[in-house]
Structure 1
Amino acid sequence: MLAFLIVVAVTFGALWSPAAAQSSRTSPPAVQAGFQLFTARDHQFPLSFRDIPAWRDRQTPVEKVKFTGGSYWLVAQVRNLTSDSAWVFNPYGSLMEHVDVRVYRPGQPVQTFQTGYRAKHAYMLHYGLDLTLRPGERTWVVAQIRSPYFASQPNFSFEPQDRYRQQVNLDNLLTLVAFGALLALSCYNLFIFAGTHNRSFFYYAAYALTYCVAWAFTFHVPADVFGFYDLRWHYVGFFLLPVLNTLFYLHFLKLDQRLPLLGRLSRVNLWLPLALLPSSFLLLPYTHILATGVVSLWLVLALVCGVASWRQGFYSARFFVFGLLALMVPATMILPANVGLMPDPVRNTELLTLLGGTLDGLLLAFALADQLRLLMRDNISHIVQLRRALHLAGTDTLTGLHNRHAFGQAVGTLEDHPFLLVLMDLDGLKTLNDTQGHARGDDLLRVFARLLQDMESEHITAYRLGGDEFALIAPPGADAALVSQLQTAEETLRAGGFPTSGLSVGMAHAGGGRSAGQVFEEADQRMYRHKQAKKGGKEPSDRR
């Protein structure tokens, strides 16, 4: 993003032209040119160099063109004050459908040129015409400009050919980079939408694509590349931009939940542009004025909603606000010029606005990425909480062993596989509770639980089933080793301060199509017989 900001700053410096800010009739001091603008009532050019003064005196001068279109004469008496003879006559700053140019020199045939929207351009995306102006030569240049509307006041200049080519190359490079970035952002977010089904990504992708298409018409890309010259389509994209961006920020900022009043107000950006969109086909001379009003209203409402959401604590909205500011800075230059409130302050406000919109697109992508980051953080937090809850649900709080719920799940999972089930009853617990208190009984349970945890491994798991009942689930061949370990554990308990404690053990092997209930019943019976045998003073031989 920093690199893009640097590019925008450099571009602004390259586009800034104090001459363009002063008047459409100024030109570089290297060429002395007095521009005059007249209303064109016909298409009759002067016949020769000598006829121009009388012809000019019959015309009606005007200060500015009408934004609703018309036909105008531009007359310039030019004198080249340099030694350079390669020059460019450059009409710029507004759409001009037809620009017919005549160059008059004393005693020479009149030269005829054409440029403008419908003509083939010597310079891609620009109206410039190459002219030869010999050093010290005095020349008349007369142009007739016809257009169904003017997006702003047109400007005219004579520029050295080499400098103009460099500027055009820079303009075109930045234009194509901006278009490429918008297309890439649109495709990438459509891909994200396909995986997440989050409508914010779809609305954003549609907005970025529409922004690209709308400005492509402004820069005459369909006309220059595809030969599509229908002016009625030029502002369709600009009427759709408020609609798509509003759908995006309504969903992204969750205005209906967080700020319902602003959500309701923002819906004017949905129905008003759609209601005025047919003007592109029915009222073409007024379309750019209507589109200017619609876009201005959208930008103001969107900025208010973004700032309000940010202040309310939705911090992903900061990228949305920064993006709007990146778009509004050039918009404050081009929108007032669209309705004649001020002249264009830079040479190529369209390019600057395109770059601002591309930066807006990048920042909106950052906003979505930040929202994804927050969603992922919340999801991870929920997963951790869920795992903790599942762990607690399957854990005995006193001993830290798995509980009866976890035991039931494990047995159900292993029902079709062979395993060894060991049931244990901790003898002496009731007596200890009655004589020394339940706190001492809890100590016995915790000590025995630690001994069982020492027996656990990748394939052996210990459980407390409740009260003084415990269990082990182990591989089928682990019975001999477990008997030895349990005998050691019993001796450890007695030597560790619990002389009256002991273990009653019953084992059973799962497999052979027997149900888990049958296996449990067999182990429980053997444990019971072991307990009874111990009371009778002898160890049974069938506990496993």
Structure 2
Amino acid sequence: MKIIMHLVCRLMLALWLMAGTAIASPVVLTDHTTTSPAEANLWRALPTGSTITDFNQLRAAILSAGTVASTLGGEGAFGLRMQVTSLSEQPGTWFVRLPANYLDRGQAYWQSDNGRTVPLPGFGQRTGQSVRLLHQQAFPLTLNAGETGVLWLMIDAKKFPAPVQPHFVPQSRFYQQQFLTNAATLLGTGVMFTLGLIALFAYFRTKTPVTLACAGYVGLHGIGWFAASGAWGFIWGEGNSNPAYWGMLLFPFAIACASQFTRLLFNCRLRHSRLNHFFHGLSVLCLGLGLLMPWLPFVWGYQVSHAIALLWVPTAIVTGIMMLSKKDFRAKYYLTGNLLYGVALLAYMLLHVGQLDLAGYAEGMVVIALALDCFCILLSVAEWLSLQQQEYRRSYLMSRRDTLTGIGNRHAFHEQIDELGDQPYGLVFIDVDGFKAINDTHGHDQGDRFLVFAAEQMQTHLGRLGTVYRTGGDEFLWLVPICHPGQLAGLPAQLAQRLQQSEAAFHRAGWKNAGLSHGMATSLESDSLSQCLSLADERMYQHKQGKNHTLVRRPS
């Protein structure tokens, strides 16, 4: 009996020792196939704050640690030991790809069955990356033909938002994946940078706040995703900080700009007061959280950023639908962009909670989707600017057109004078005779119809010689540019003839007592516009008194 109990105890001890030194399921590598062992119960949680500098320390730490169900949502350091066998008949290189873009540092060692222990190239944002792979980490593993051994691996980060499932990728296939992932990310962030700069230049040109908000919205997304992908690490190299965390810290500021952009795009201050208060409050909240987040643990900031995203996406989509239902066609681009944005963030968050297994590629697709979103946002700004330009042109034309007759007013006249510069010109000051009698006899409606008819006739008979302006009441101005000195000799008689033709048209239309008194002056016989107008006005009154001839002083 004692012998049996002794054997049972020795068996239990052996099982306990085996459990303490359990190794992950063996991984078999081939020349052309990616091998991805299951992540469940693969990793071991290493002591917080442990300092590991060599293989013996890493081995001891992993052997003494307990397994965890998953690294999803985990914090700190994790380690694993995995038996790996190459079935290749020739020496080959595989890349171990880890979907962990926030990784601070990583260490790996290869312990071959032939007795050699080799430190593998380092990886992580703070320890330097031997392989440049955005959104993920990777390091090479070179094995001899048929070699078998154990891979010892340690990773450390403030947050693991996705399960860290290792992928052993053959060298040729890895380079294809690396090119596609890096190209998609750099293309997407490059598009966002470019669109942000376009919006910023538009702000410098137009001084409209909506373009500045758009520049912040688009540009901060580009900078944030460039940082979150790990690309800043390529520039800064090794350091005490992890630039991949910056993307999460910039996100609240991007949404603050997005809130202001939405408020300004749809003119909420004048048309939608409740939305105006909501978006203004949301932008202030996001700005405050963004300023606070650098002082909080990264895990808290990570959760705050995802909470903001969960609030913003449905808000933006509902706003776009509501504005489109109100026939605000700027919303068609805004809604399209935010639908893309919503789908992208949904895929991103599902990946982070382990419900979508795309092995890190979802983040590259998110960046492309966000680039398309930013393009749509810029289109909505272009639509807004187009509408503003149309409104400006309409207001501009209205301010320079006489509302009754449709011809130019005094503002248009002065603009035309400014455009002429030093070019000589002639002015004909015209006053309508008999207009008061028409108003008194037939009423103001009939008087207005006569003024419209008079303006049409003067414009018709003046033709290409110049332009007719109504300066007030029954007073008009004819402005005639003088292109060459010889034109001046016959100009007074020519203009007088055309005025007589206009008067004749009045009489044929039944306005028998209507006429035109006029006086002409040129810039060549005066020192300023006001002097030229005074001279023409004086001659008009002389003509009204005499009604037989027009006085024009020849320049000396």
Query: What TM-score do the two structures reach when normalised by structure 2?
Result: 0.70
Displacement after TM superposition at 1:205 (Å):
0.6
**CA pair 331-83 structure 1, distance change in 2 beyond 3 A:** farther
Distance in 1 of aligned mates of 2:289 and 2:551: 90
DSSP 3-state at the match of 1:365? helix
Give the alignment of 1:113-124 within 5 angstroms. 113=120, 114-124=122-132
Q: Percent identity?
A: 18
Code of the aligned partner of 1:183: F
Residue 99 (structure 2) pairs with residue 72 (structure 1): no
Q: How far does the alpha carbon of each residue in 1:476-513 deviate from its partner, in whole angstroms, 9 at most, with x for none? A: 6456667889999999999x999xx8999998775688
Q: After superposition, where does 1:55-454 map in structure 2 within 5 Å? A: 58-65=64-71, 67-83=73-89, 85-113=92-120, 114-125=122-133, 126-227=136-237, 228-231=239-242, 233-266=246-279, 267-268=281-282, 270-272=284-286, 274-275=288-289, 277-338=291-352, 340=353, 342-386=355-399, 389-390=402-403, 392=405
- The offset of 1:472, in angstroms, is 8.9
Higher relative contact order (CA 8 A, sep 6+): 1
- Give the alignment partner of residue 540 of structure 2, picking from 502, 508, 520: 520
Deviation of 1:140 (Å): 1.1
Q: Read off the aligned partner of 2:104 and give its amino acid letter.
A: E
Q: Tell which deviates more after alignment, 517-526 or 100-109.
A: 517-526
1:455: how far off? 5.6
Structure 2 SS opposite 1:149: coil
Counterpart contact for 1:67–1:285, Cα < 8 Å = no
**1:420 touches 1:509 (CA, 8 Å); kept in 2?**
yes
Q: Distance in 1 between matches of 2:153 and 2:264?
A: 51
User: Measured at CA, do residues 479 and 287 of structure 1 come closer, stay the same or move farther in structure 2, by a change above 3 Å?
Assistant: closer
Bigger Cα displacement from structure 2, 162-171 vs 36-45: 36-45
Deviation at 1:69, TM superposition (A): 0.9
For 1:436, the equivalent position in structure 2 comes to none
Partners of 1:446 and 1:259 in 2: CA distance: 41
Number of equivalences: 482
CA–CA distance in structure 1, aligned partners of residues 334 and 54 of structure 2: 53
* Secondary structure of 1:73's aligned partner: strand
Task: Please give the secondary structure, in 1, of the residue aligned with 2:141.
Answer: strand
Describe the shift of the 1:273–1:292 C-alpha distance in structure 2 as closer, same or farther (beyond 3 A): farther
Question: In 1, Cα distance between the equivalents of 2:173 and 2:429?
Answer: 90
Displacement, 1:260?
3.2
CA pair 27-458 structure 1, distance change in 2 beyond 3 A: farther
C-alpha distance in structure 2 between counterparts of 1:306 and 1:144, whole Å = 46
Q: Deviations for 1:380-418, whole angstroms, at most 9, x for unmatched residues?
A: 4444555553571669xxxxxx9xx99x999x999x977
Change (3 A) 1:337 1:263: farther
Q: Distance in 2 between matches of 1:150 and 1:373?
A: 46
Q: Which amino acid aligns with 2:312?
A: W
Change (3 A) 1:308 1:484: closer
Mark the CA change 1:134 to 1:268 in structure 2 (over 3 Å): closer, same or farther.
same
- Structure 1 residues 313 and 28, CA, compared in 2 at 3 Å: closer, same or farther? farther
The alpha-carbon distance between structure 1 residues 181 and 25, as it changes in their structure 2 partners (threshold 3 A), is farther
The residue type equivalent to 1:377 in the other structure is Q
Shift of 1:330: 2.2
Q: 1:86 touches 1:131 (CA, 8 Å); kept in 2?
A: yes
Q: Is the 8 A contact 2:97 2:138 kept in 1?
A: yes
Judged with a 3 Å threshold, the aligned counterparts in structure 2 of structure 1 residues 161 and 229 are, in CA distance, closer, same or farther, namely farther
Distance 1:332 1:462, change over 3 A: closer
Give the Å deviation of 1:273: 5.9
Q: Specify whether residues 229 and 220 from structure 1 end up closer, same or farther in structure 2 by C-alpha distance, changes over 3 A only.
A: farther
C-alpha displacement at 1:345, in angstroms? Answer: 3.6
- Partner of 2:544, secondary structure, is helix
Alignment correspondent of 2:444:
none
Q: Could you say which structure has the larger radius of gyration?
A: 1
Cα 1:246–1:80 shift into 2, 3 Å: same
CA distance in 2 between counterparts of 1:480 and 1:183 reads: 65
Distance 1:131 1:198 in 2: 55
Deviations 1:333-376 (A, max 9, x none): 222343x3625445322212211211111110011111122223
Amino acid at match of 2:177: Q
CA contact (8 A) 2:98 2:164 kept: yes
Q: Indicate the RMSD between aligned Cα atoms, in angstroms.
A: 5.1
TM-score (norm 1): 0.71
